[in-house]
Structure 1
Amino acid sequence: MEKINNVTMFILKGLSQNPKVEEVCLVLFSLFYLAILLGNLLIILTVRMGNLLNFPMYFFLNYLSFVDICYSSVTAPKMIVNLFAKSKTISYMGCMLQLFGAHFFGPTEVFILVVMAYDRYVAICKPLHYLIIMDQDRCKRMLLGAWVVAFLHSFIQIVLMLQLPFCGPNVIDHYFCDVHPMLKLACSDTFVVGMVDTANSGTVALGGFTTLLISYTLILVSLRKQSAEGRRKALSTCGSHIAVVVMFFGPCTFMYLRPNTTFAEDKMVALFYTIIAPMLNPLIYTLRNAEVKNAMKKLWHRNAF
């Protein structure tokens, strides 16, 4: 059967249809997006100008901040523009590109967080072999692997969506183009596509969360053998990672580890991993990590004097 696609653009309903609420959201999320850009750029500048890229933890933190900027930029600018625009439209191709970007940078962040957890596991549980195991070549290969697997994930998502015909209503009940709300608009049976999407996205979310859970469990078990000072330092570093994991993976698991259904709360939940987590990551990694704070102090003190 030939694919029939009469839809050339979609309408994004956004977070609210109340003008007063939209005004508040416009100010709030404009500030949030500005904080994402400035906070993550500060991390990137600190790592690069402080010559910290040779250290695995900062190497991955640098790219986590870069991905946070890209991930939030896929959804936030369009959402902010739509908050004061009368016509909240997005072209068919723009919608597909937004979906591809969200499912590319989101899983990339998942895999970088997994690699960072592995880095902390090696640093704490195998300190004598740390420099051998986490050498620059291996770090680069793991980062490349994160990009490649995330690309394959997003490629599968976009191929599935491009096969679907859209001939009926074009109103997406969300603030960005995502799989579940778009499947509701397709004028064909989406059961198979929904199942593949759940398996694909669910594997990324659950697999990443399980790996992180195992890593931090092994770290906590190994801390019993260390001194009080060693435990304090390790817990301080890992605490920031665990905070990011809970804030990012909780909402992701709720959204994607389920059948093809949508809930009224989905938009609020999605804000956590598209806006809130990228905004708070720089604060968490600087306020909870003494080494990052010291690196920033040295960098800005050197530039000031």
Structure 2
Amino acid sequence: MERQLYAMHNQVRFVTDQPIDEAEWEELVRFFHYVDRQWSRFDEQSEVSRLNRLQIGDTLSVSLPLARLLARATRYFEQTERYFSPFLLAQQQANGYRQSFPFTQAVAYEEVAPPEIAPFIIEGCDVTRVGGGFIDLGGIGKGAAAMIAAQRLRKSWNRGLIEAGGDVIVWSDEEPWNITITHPETEQRVADVQLRQGAVATSNRVYRSWKTDGQTHHHLLDGRTGRPPKSPILQVTASAPQLCEAEVMTKLAFQMTETERQEKLFRWFPKGRLLILDTAGEWRSEQKGVSETWT
């Protein structure tokens, strides 16, 4: 059985072998409505926007799911030595990303240096600004919302799949799920991932891109510079035990060389795997200690 809803500017699919209880479905709809209202950088009244307006020293009490997400995102920011950053709103806006998709043209502004330390301290549900930087949750917000929904549904579903904008989380006590990976330009099937438990996230430079002064820009930024990385990679698919981990891995892969991924990315996420497509059309499969051309 399958049900769908629209949230976070993406179609979100819920698939299971069991009937979907209507009360359970209504609870899911309410939760994703909350995510849309409170986690968006495009809504001036959201909790995220209110946090971004805080002055240094000011504190705001936020909802528990958002507080936990900010704490998780901050841990990734520190763990990955700023390769991943959820605090790049000003840099995304300078890059031309100031409205929700779809759009094809934008104007870039003067670059802004990204924060070198986490700009917020989270204590319970209280969030205090201690430095410069503005929240843009992006893909990790989408991943966290799917993880929260999956945690709730596991109590009643023995086998389930949630897909949000190409990011997938699955669980099964029986047959594994088959997740198809497609080429970002041709949309042809190139690989299948078999999973009983875990998650898959995909990022590419094609779907969320736009033109500025004749130059193509995309939403993937280097957390250390605040600028799009100069990368030969066109698309990355990551698999990991948790969807947020897979989301972070895709962002890091664009910023790193093959050697750096082995030395850093797989040290931070040793259970992760990557399937990488470069601009020359070559596919590579990578995991801890292994990197090989994939055909």
TM-score by length of 2: 0.30
Structure with larger Rg: 1
Q: Which structure ranks higher in relative contact order (CA pairs < 8 Å, sequence separation ≥ 6)?
A: 1
Q: Which structure shows the higher strand fraction?
A: 2
TM normalised by structure 1 equals 0.29
Higher helix content, 1 or 2: 1
